[in-house]
Amino acid sequence: MHPIFEKGGKLGWLHSTADAFDTFLAVPGNVTRKGAHVRDAVDLKRIIILALIAVIPAALFGMWNVGYQHGLAVGDPRINLLGNWWFGFLHVLPIYVVAYAVGLLIEFGTAQIRNEEVNEGFLMTGFLIPLILPVTTPLWMVGLATAFSVIFCKEIFGGTGMNIWNPALVARAFLFFSYPNQMSGSQCWIALRKGETMLDASTGATPLALDGAAQYGTSWWDLFLGTVPGSVGETSVLCILLGAFLLVWTGVGSWKIMAGSVAGALLVGWLGHIGGVTDIPAWMQLLYGGFAFGTVFMATDPVTSCQTECGKWLYGLLIGMLCITVRLFNPGYAEGMMLAILFANTMAPLMDHCVVSVHLSRKNKKLKTA
């Protein structure tokens, strides 16, 4: 680092910022001072960048889908790989710019105030926020939601690693409750150029909101590929599976949480199906809406999920079951994933507490008999 940024230097007050750029460029030459003399080569930057790479397929596909849905809406159903992607990219890019600019500004600012190193956590949050919003979300809302979530969900708790709820989901929840008109319905999912109007025949609503997708001609294959309207990154189950594979392979995301969530969704979906609540078979529930995206990228956030192995199963199950329960019994708001995860985030410490208490009481009994 340039000495001007060192403590006591002219720009010493920018120490955290300079350090952030410095450590971004190179692993610093810091050596261990206490404890273990050698350390593992892994750091949080590495873990977070990996999680981010896992989301990239879904993000790229989401951009393409924005263009494709636009084509469908204006009566041009051709599949133009690059053209559609470029259209989507131009519409999603501003959301990214705003989310990152606002979030990183606050992150750097708070790190500066606290005189700490800048945390990498927002790299991931900022990457997720645009992917879980409708593409037509006004930019000022994106900025407002990002600021709200970073400040009130993360920084006031002490920064990355201390938060209770997933910041990206809090941003979405903030918008959902503050500006419901822009967050649901059949208009928000399709980006249009100025002056364009949607064909009457096309419906811009997500398959989930329509319920009983078959009658609208949405096949499971379309849902799996993701060529349906929805939040930018959530539609393609295929791309999300690619990400899931990377997360599980590297161990960054817990397979137990993912499996628990899928099991919970299948269970409630099956009960609903045989109970006559819905016509949708249980396995189809896994393809709808934000379930896959939430299960793979949101529920597995290590900060806000359960700490214990047993707790992870419970946590996953709770998310899956709650999500489908909301879908089946709440016609007004069909997308249950966001609130299911936020609720499970809230309950995670309690679940951990129970798991640990049971474990410890068993251990104490063993100690007494030994």
Partner 1 sequence: MSGTIVLKKGLDLPVTGTAERVVCKSIVPRTVAIEPSVFKGLSPRLLVKEGDAVLCGSPVLADKTHPEILVTSPVSGTVKAVVRGEKRKLLAVVVETALRQEAAAFSPDAADAASVRKSLLESGLWLQFVQRPYGVVADPDATPKCIYISTFGTGPLAADSVFCLGNELGAMQAGIDALSKIAPVHIGVQEGAVFAGLAAAGVHCFKGPHPAGNAGVQISHVCPIAKGETVWTLSPEGLAAIGKFFQKGKLDLRRRIAVTGPAAIEPAYVEALPGTPMTELQGFWGASAEGVRIISGDLLSGQTVGAEGYIGFRDNQVTLVREGTEKEYFGWIRPIRWKQFSTDRSYFSWLMPWRRYEMDTNLHGGKRAFLMNDAYYAKFLPMDIYPIFLVKACLAGDIEKMEKFGIYEVLPEDLALCEFADPSKNDLQEIIAGGIDLMRKEMA
Q: How far apart are CA 80 and CA 154, in angstroms?
A: 41
CA dist., res. 164 & res. 123, Å (int): 18
Which of 9, 14, 17, 45 is the binder for partner 1 (CB under 8 A)?
Answer: 45
Enter the DSSP assignment of 216.
Answer: G
Distance CA 80, CA 236 (A): 17
Residue 77 interacting with partner 1 (CB under 8 A): no
Per CB under 8 A, 138 contacts partner 1: no
Does the footprint of partner 1 cover residue 114 (CB under 8 A)?
no
Count of residues near partner 1 by CB under 8 A: 57
32 near partner 1 (CB under 8 A): yes
313-325 b/e with 16+ CB inside 10 Å = b?
Answer: bbbbbbbbbbbbb
The tokens of 59 are what? Answer: 């993000």
By the rule CB under 8 A, 119 interacts with partner 1: yes
CA distance 234 to 291: 8
Q: Which two tokens stand for residue 289?
A: 């809406």
309 binds partner 1 (CB under 8 A): yes
Does 16 engage in binding with partner 1 (CB under 8 A)? no
Binding to partner 1 by CB under 8 A, coded x per residue (else -) over 195-234, reads ----------------------------------------
- C-alpha dist (Å) from residue 348 to 121, 258, 341: 20, 15, 10
Among residues 8 and 29, whose Cβ is nearest to partner 1?
A: 29
Closest approach of partner 1 to the CB of residue 270, in Å: 29
* Ranges within 339-368 binding partner 1 (CB under 8 A): 356, 359-360, 363, 366-368
CB of 108 to partner 1, least distance (A): 15
Radius of gyration of the chain (CA): 22
> Residue 259, interface with partner 1 (CB under 8 A)?
no
Annotate 143-154 with b (16+ C-beta within 10 A) or e (fewer). bbbbbbbbeebb
Residue 46 makes contact with partner 1 by CB under 8 A: yes
Residues forming the site for partner 1 (CB under 8 A):
19, 23, 25-47, 49-50, 117, 119-121, 158-162, 249-252, 254, 302-303, 305-309, 312, 356, 359-360, 363, 366-368, 370
